[in-house]
Structure 1
Amino acid sequence: MIDMPATDALRRIRRVALGDFIHRSALKFGERTAVVDGDTRLNYRELDARSSRFAHHLIGTIGRGRQVGMLCANSADMVVAYNGIHKSGNVWVPVNIRLDVAGIDYILRHAEVAAVVVDEAFHAAPGVADMLTRLGVPLIVTMAAQAGTAIAGAVTLAQAEAGQSAELPAIDIDSNAPALIMYTSGTTGNPKGAVHSHASVGAALTGNMAGFAVTEQDVFSGVLPLFHCAQHGLAATVHLAGGCIVLLRGFVPDEVRASILRERYTVFTGLPMMYAALLADPAFRVDSMRLAIYAMAPIPRPLIAQIAGRMTPNVMLATGQTEMYPGTMSFRPLEHPQLDANYWGVSLPHNETAVMDDEGRLLGEGEPGEIVHRGANAMLGYLKDPEATAAAQRFGWHHTGDLGQWGPGGQLMFLDRKKDMIKTGGENVASVKVEAVLLAHPGVAGVGVIGLPHPRWAEAVCAFVVKKPGAEVDEAALQTHCRQHLGGFEVPKLIRFVEQLPATSTGKVQKHLLRREFEQIAAQAWTDEAA
């Protein structure tokens, strides 16, 4: 056996540290644009210098190895700040600013943050200032309207950077040390904090760069929120490669279309409804794009065909999970026209995927079970939750809570979330299958399908539907549509139209809220039906 002890010098030479990626890109592509944020453009030299200055501020004020919360919308300041946190050896804790104040307070306290980076506008939102005052940690204000700030105990990001060195901090960072804590989207109960190391995120970025063929010539969209792992992972990937990210504060179709054409995007990533909204303008066509990535939900084939014809023929579904830094898998629907929209495809280079039964046995083609992953992009574990960590990591694989099975050609088909599989009359019904059928109806804009208690069937398939504007469709028409494409036991026994579906910031329908809101309504419907 060869004994090669890991010396301090070797650890420093071999380290994976997220702040190093920006520094290295600056050495190679110093004058190339890294971030576009409205009228603000930062090249790599500027992004590297500013993030190093902020890193030195953090080291001088809170030290190293502490958690730093972040309450920010997409901006160049946000990119500077999170890269500065990485360079300082501290731990980035981005928080979904669309949560209520109590939910934000829970995350900041659970993570035990030592400081908070907050947008000036968000600080002024109802309840936020009082919550942060009670938290009692230093504040760094981003996107400040002026150099000074009247916020007690706060400095602006510009003030934090002033007078600091632009050199990369000469500190030791362990590749396996925590780099960030991403809290799950909270579709059920309190969110859990997935702790990722520099190495786990770094593995995802290098795998993405290979899997999506990212180069310094790429211009990526930044319309999804950077506090979410998917958009951060893509932004960090393009910065590893030396390309550009164009940040937007939100999705306004006219603004996004104009930005795509003006900045000549090469890669767009969006939710299915975003693509539908962009292509609702029949004059919209793109000649610069090489890749269209969609996520979170399947896209009907007619919309795939529109994307291919008017944006790029290279259309790809990318999947991932907070706990397995995204992406994990990819699927190219145009290359597999015989497979339905719920296929997830194959693993990206940095991880592998299997389907497992409850006893830990790996399953073959056509055998349904839980989708599991393993690879260097796996989280270290859940913060302060050893039981949930052990459950997620049993049998030496990360357990996703998703059900799937292998299909033809080694392509993985997603069946449903384990908790969302509906058990009705002794049959299992995948909610996503019913949702896909309803979404294919021309009058349907959105749908959430759940199982609700039923006195005869144990659970009944129930669908909550958002109509497209101006659509003339009723429950009977949708029942008829479903009977043409589903088995009898899969057809919803209850369809209700709603103005909107409760959803997370990334578009996931919060089905626990649907259950809570409609359980009694459904129970009354079954009673009336029996009478």
Structure 2
Amino acid sequence: MIQMNESPELRRVRRVALGDFVHRSALKFPERIAVVDGDTRLSYRQFDARSSRFAHYLIGAVGSGRQVGMLCANSADMAVAYNGIHKSGNVWVPVNIRLDVAAIDYILRHAEVSAVVVDEAYHAAPGIADMLARLGVPLVVTMAGQAGSAIAGATTLAQAEHGQGAELPGIEIDGDAPALIMYTSGTIGHPKGAVHSHASVAASVMGNMAGFGITEQDVFSGVLPLFHCAQHCLVATVHAAGACVVLLRGFVPDEVRASILKEKYTAFTGLPMMYGALLADPAFRCDEHMRMCIYAMAPIPKPLIPLIAERMSANVMLATGQTEMYPGTMTFRPLDHPDLDANYWGVSLPHNETAVMDDDGRLLGEGQPGEIVHRGANAMLGYFKDPEATAAAQKFGWHHTGDLGMWGPGGQMMFLDRKKDMIKTGGENVASVKVEAVLLSHPAVAAAGVIGMPHPRWTEAVCAFVMKKPGAEVDEAALLAHCRAHLGDFEVPKLVHFVDQLPATSTGKVQKHRLRQQFAELAARAFGE
């Protein structure tokens, strides 16, 4: 057996570090535009220099190997900052800014962050300033005004970069060391932090580049939030290829259409409802320069596919992924399989493999339903400070997705259902038990069942079915106000319906499949389907 000692020199030669992608693209394409953000256009030379300066600041301020939280919306500053975190050898902890303050506070504390990067505008959101003050760690403020930040004691990103060297920091980074912790929306209790190494994200980047054919000539959309794994990994892939990403703060159809045409996107990634909204304008088309349209998060309505093919790009595909298996994992091309329905996930990308497994760890063949499992270099290291959940997720040597599926014709994966009652609405995951807990905290509520029901825009709408306590008086408006006080906006039900009784098992567990059957017509009328 050949044995090689891994010396410090060999580790440097074989280094895998996420911050190196931007640096290498800057060496090859220094004047090519890396990031467009409104009127801001950063070349790779500028992007590399700015992120390295911020990395040097972080090394001086907190050292390396620490967790750095981030509360930001999409922006050039955000991309500079998280690449600086990668280059500094610290661990990036992006947080969904649409969560309620208590959930954000939990994540930052659970992650043991040593600093937080925050948008100045978001710092002014209700409860955020007080929460961060109680956290008691240094703040770096992005998108601050020209005169500096109005936040006492905070450092602006410009101030952090000022006077620092533009060269790549010379610190050692182990490819297997944690690079980021991205928190999932757990179905029970608090969210879990999926820890990814530099190597696991790099594997996904390389697989995406090959699987989607991304080159330095591409111009990609950046409309999905960068605090989610899907958009982050696509942007990381774009920057590894030396291509360009156009970052937008959110999805406003007129603004997105104008941006697509102005910047001549070659690739767009969005939710099915985004495509529907873009194509609602009959005059909109971009097929002269768009080469690829990726949809994600949910099956797409079949009538929408030929519209995308005709007016945007004939290269239409679904991309799947999971925070724990850095995306993408599988792709499906509906136009290549017109006889298969929209619930197909297709085949694996080159950096991972997929199987269907029964509860005893046996792999199943075509037509046999079971749990969808993956393995590959893009798998997470584990859940932060949760060895039991990690062991369960990695049982039998595969990552367990919690999704049910089976192999269909031609080796295509068919998605059947989620093992747990996670609701996917507008690109966000909503834990039904979390919404139920908030409803049950209202003094007039005796019982509640929360499910996702089909919605023409949001894919699924959060729907609550509520039993009042005897003699109690409460209406839909009051319950919605109660929910808004305790939940993120995307978690608030879009339908509240009062019932005399909830279908339940003998042990009192709400039978959600019966709720879906019982109220399918009610939801269809309510949502105009």
On whether the aligned pair clears a TM of 0.5, the verdict is yes
In structure 2, the partner of 1:199 is 199
Match of 1:415 in 2: 416
Change (3 A) 1:462 1:71: closer
Amino acid in structure 2 at the alignment position of 1:408: P
Look up the match of 2:326: 325
Q: Supply the AA of the counterpart residue of 1:330.
A: T
Q: Please tell me whether residue 386 in structure 1 is matched to residue 365 in structure 2.
A: no
Change (3 A) 1:127 1:237: same
Q: Distance in 2 between matches of 1:349 and 1:291?
A: 19
Asked if residue 211 in structure 1 is aligned to residue 190 in structure 2, the reply is no
Letter of the 1:160 partner, please give it: A
Q: What corresponds to 1:365 in structure 2?
A: 366
Q: Is the 8 A contact 1:147 1:156 kept in 2?
A: no
Closer/same/farther in 2, CA of residues 284 and 184 from structure 1, 3 Å limit: same
Whichever residue aligns with residue 172 of structure 2, its letter is: D
Aligned equivalent of 2:8:
8
The answer on whether the counterparts of 1:147 and 1:159 sit within 8 Å (CA) in structure 2 is no
- Aligned-partner residue type, residue 172 of structure 1: E
1:298 aligned onto 2:302 = no
Q: Which residue number corresponds to residue 335 of structure 1?
A: 336
**What SS does the corresponding residue of 1:373 show, helix, strand or coil?**
strand
CA 1:202–1:464 in structure 2 vs 1: closer, same or farther (change >3 Å)? closer
Letter in 1 for 2:270: G
Query: Structure 1, unaligned stretches of length 5 or more?
Result: 422-430, 436-447, 453-459, 470-495
The Cα of 1:203 is off from its aligned counterpart by 0.2
Q: Show the counterpart of 2:42.
A: 42
Rounded to whole Å, the distance in 1 between the matches of 2:74 and 2:187 is 23
Paired position in structure 2 for 1:492: none
Give the counterpart letter for 1:375 in structure 2.
G
Residue of structure 2 in register with 1:174 after alignment = 174
Residue by residue over 1:448-478, the C-alpha shift from the partner in whole angstroms, topping out at 9 and shown as x without a partner, is 9x999xxxxxxx9987455789xxxxxxxxx
The equivalent residue for 2:502 is: 523
Q: Please state how far the C-alpha of 1:519 moved relative to its aligned partner.
A: 8.2
Distance change in 2, residues 1:390/1:520 (3 Å): farther
CA distance in 1, matches of 2:338, 2:24: 41
Q: Is the 8 A contact 2:421 2:451 kept in 1?
A: no
In structure 1, what residue type is equivalent to 2:69? G
**Does residue 111 of structure 1 match 2:132?**
no
Give the deviation of 1:131 after TM superposition: 0.5
Q: Distance in 1 between matches of 2:82 and 2:303?
A: 39
Q: Which amino acid letter does the alignment assign opposite residue 328 of structure 1?
A: T
Distance in 2 separating the partners of 1:198 and 1:369: 31
Name 1:224's counterpart in structure 2: 224
Distance apart, 1:520 and its partner CA: 5.0
Measured against aligned partners, the alpha-carbon deviations of 1:376-412 in whole angstroms (never above 9, x if no partner) come to: 0000000010000000000000000000000011000
Match of 1:349 in 2: 350
- The runs of 5 or more residues in structure 2 that have no matched partner are 437-448, 459-475, 505-513, 519-529
Distance 1:5 1:466, change over 3 A: closer
**Correspondences of 1:444-455 after superposition (within 5 Å):** none
Matches within 5 A, 1:248-327: 248-286=248-286, 287-327=288-328
CA distance in 2, matches of 1:271, 1:465: 14
CA contact (8 A) 2:187 2:420 kept: no
User: Which residue identity is paired with 1:292?
Assistant: C
Note the C-alpha offset of 1:183. 0.4
Change (3 A) 1:516 1:270: closer
| Distance in 2 between residues matched to 1:174 and 1:403, nearest whole Å | 35
Amino acid at match of 1:212: F
CA distance, structure 1, for counterparts of residue 322 and residue 87 of structure 2: 25
Match of 1:456 in 2: none
Work out the CA distance in 1 between the residues paired with 2:457 and 2:22. Answer: 43
Q: C-alpha offsets along residues 298-329 of structure 1, whole Å, 9 cap, x if unaligned?
A: 11111011000100000000000000000000
Using the alignment, how far apart are the partners of 1:387 and 1:518 within structure 2? 38
SS in 1 for 2:262: helix
- Contact kept in structure 1, 2:35 and 2:43, CA below 8 Å: yes
Are the equivalent residues in 2 in contact too, given 1:372–1:399 (CA < 8 A)? yes
Going from structure 1 to structure 2, the CA distance change for 1:47 and 1:468 (only over 3 Å counts) comes to: closer
Measured against aligned partners, the alpha-carbon deviations of 1:15-61 in whole angstroms (never above 9, x if no partner) come to 11001111000000000000000000000000000000000000001
Three-state SS of the structure 1 residue aligned to 2:175 is: coil
Letter in 2 for 1:54: F
Calculate the aligned-residue CA RMSD, in Å: 3.1
Shift of 1:419: 1.8
In the superposition, the TM-score normalised over structure 2's length comes to: 0.83
Closer/same/farther in 2, CA of residues 468 and 110 from structure 1, 3 Å limit: closer
Contact 1:147 1:158 (C-alpha < 8 Å) held by counterparts: no
After superposition, give the CA deviation of every residue in 1:361-381 in whole Å (9 maximum; x if it has no partner).
Answer: 000000000000000000000
CA contact (8 A) 1:315 1:332 kept: yes
Check whether the contact 1:218–1:267 (CA below 8 A) recurs between aligned residues: yes
Once the two structures are TM-superposed, the CA of residue 516 in structure 1 deviates from its matched residue by: 12
**Matched residue, 2:165:** 165
Q: Decide whether aligned partners of structure 1 residues 352 and 134 sit closer, same or farther in structure 2, where only a CA change above 3 A counts.
A: same
Alpha carbons of 1:257 and 1:465: their partners in 2 closer, same or farther (altered >3 Å)? same
Q: 1:218 to 1:465 in 2, by over 3 A?
A: closer
SS at match of 1:145: coil
Compute the displacement of 1:185 (Å): 2.9
**Distance in 1, Cα, partners of 2:402 & 2:55:** 37
CA change 1:240–1:107 in 2 (3 A) is: same
Is the 2:356–2:373 Cα contact (8 Å) retained in structure 1?
A: yes
1:342, 1:413 within 8 Å by CA — same for their partners in 2? yes
Equivalent pair of 2:271/2:295 in contact (CA under 8 Å): yes
Q: Does 1:121 align with 2:130?
A: no
Instruction: Provide the C-alpha distance between the structure 2 equivalents of 1:64 and 1:244, rounded to a whole number of angstroms.
Output: 29
Distance 1:285 1:133, change over 3 A: same
TM superposition shift of 1:523: 2.4
What is the aligned partner in structure 1 of residue 99 from structure 2? 99
| Structure 2 contact 98–489 (Cα < 8 Å) conserved | no
TM-score, normalised by the number of residues in structure 1: 0.82
% identical aligned pairs = 77
Q: How far apart, in 1, do the equivalents of 2:202 and 2:291 lie?
A: 24
What secondary structure does 2:238 align onto?
Answer: helix
Q: Give deviations 1:212-255, integer Å, cap 9, x for gaps.
A: 00000000000000000000000000000000000000000000
Q: Any conservation in 2 of the 1:34–1:43 contact (CA below 8 Å)?
A: yes
Deviating beyond 2 angstroms after TM superposition, the runs of 4 or more aligned structure 1 residues are 146-150, 185-189, 460-469, 507-510, 513-527
Q: Tell me which residue corresponds to 1:425.
A: none
Larger deviation, residues 173-182 vs 144-153: 144-153
Structure 1's 522 and 80: CA in aligned 2 closer, same or farther, altered over 3 A?
Answer: farther
Tell me, yes or no, if the aligned pair for 2:51 and 2:80 is still in contact at 8 Å.
Answer: yes
Contact 2:218 2:243 survives alignment (8 Å): yes
The question of whether the paired residues in 2 share the 8 Å contact of 1:319 and 1:328 is answered with yes
AA of the residue aligned to 2:298? A
How far did 1:415 drift?
A: 0.3
> CA 1:212–1:148 in structure 2 vs 1: closer, same or farther (change >3 Å)?
same
8 Å contact from structure 1 (residues 201, 325) kept in 2: yes
Tell me how far apart the structure 1 counterparts of residues 360 and 456 of structure 2 sit (CA, whole Å): 43
Determine the C-alpha separation between the residues in 1 that align with 2:3 and 2:456. Answer: 66
Separation of aligned partners in 2, 1:397 and 1:300: 31
Please show how residues 398-413 of structure 1 align to structure 2 within 5 Å: 398-413=399-414
